Amino acid sequence: MTGYGSASKDFDNGKYTVELKSLNSKFLELNIKLPKAFSDKEFFLRNECSKLLERGKIMLTLTAETTDLAGKAASINKELLKFYHQELKSVADDINADQQQLMALAVNFPEVVKYDEQAVSEEEWKLMLDTFYVAVKNFQTFRADEGSVLEKDLISRIQSILDFLSLVERDEPNRVPAIKEKLNTMLADAVGKENIDQNRLEQELIYYIDKLDITEEKVRLKSHCDYFIETLKDKDANGKKLGFISQEIGREINTMGSKANDANIQRYVVGMKEELEKIKEQLLNVL
C-alpha cells in the first residue's frame, strides 16, 4: 500500500500542485493539507479519497502557487509594528547593537502582516479538482506497478511452501518404519526382545501412527495454497482475504510440525514457516 502520485496544472496567475504519499496501514488513515481558500472542500476530498484509495496511511497535500501578489490583499498592523520596532530599538540601545535591520525584524513578528486569501471561483476549484484526479491516477498507477512485483514475489513464496510440501511427501513413507524400529529398540532394552508381545505392539503402533498421520494437513495445505494464488489473481481488492488464507496456511503448517516426529520433516516445516512470515509481511502492501 505504499504509493506516490503527483500532478500540477498552470492557471492564469500561478500553478496548482497535488501530491499523494502512502504508507502501510490496515485502514484508511487520511491526512489532508490544503490552502485556506480551499478549506471548505476538505469534506468532499475526504469522501473522494475514501472511494478511490481504499487503504493506507495517506498524506494528501494541495498547494497553490501564485505570481499575482497584488491579488492577495495584505494588511499591516501599524500599531503593532511600531510597538515591536520600539521594543527592538530599546534593546539595541541598551546593548549598543546595530539598528539597521530592526524594521525587517519587526515586520516578521506574529500578526504584523496579514494576508487575506480570496475565495476561489468555481473555475479555479474545477482546475484544482482536475489536478487532484490526475494525481490519484498517477498514484494508482504507482500502486499497480508495485502490485505486479508483489504478486510475483508472493506466488514464488507460495511455490516454495509447496516445494517443501513435496519434500515432506517424499520423506514421509520412511517415518513409519523408523518409528516402529525405535519402539522395538526401546521395548527390547526395557523388557527384553523375547518378552515383547508383537500383537499388542502392532495394535499400539497402529494407534500411535494414526495420531501422527498428516495426510489431512497435507491435503488442506495444498488446497489453501491453491486458493491463495487464485485469490491473488482476482481483480478485486483482496488483501484482507489473503491475510485470512495465510492464517489457515499457518495452522496446517503448525499442526504438521507438531505431528511430524521426524527431523527432516521438521526442517521442511521450519522452511515453510519462514516463507509464510515473509508472505505476511508482504501482505501489508496488498490492498
Chain Cα centroid distance, residue 7 = 23
* SS3 call for 66: strand
At residue 38 the predicted structure's pLDDT band, cuts being 50, 70 and 90, is: confident
Note the pLDDT tens digit of each residue in 191-204: 666 666 667 666 66
Give the Cα separation of 54 and 25 in Å (integer): 10
At residue 68 the predicted structure's pLDDT band, cuts being 50, 70 and 90, is: low
Paired with 116 in beta bridges are 73
Note the pLDDT tens digit of each residue in 226-252: 999 998 888 775 778 898 999 999 999
At residue 72 the predicted structure's pLDDT band, cuts being 50, 70 and 90, is: low
DSSP designation for 34: -
Mean pLDDT score across all residues of the chain: 83
Give the Cα separation of 252 and 76 in Å (integer): 72
- Taking CA 41 as the corner, what is the angle to CA 37 and CA 44, rounded to the nearest 5 degrees? 170
pLDDT at position 69: 46
Note the pLDDT tens digit of each residue in 46-61: 999 888 887 788 999 9
Instruction: With 0.75 as the threshold, say if the pTM is over it.
Output: no
- The share of the chain scoring above pLDDT 70, in percent, equals 83
- Does pLDDT of 70 surpass 60? no
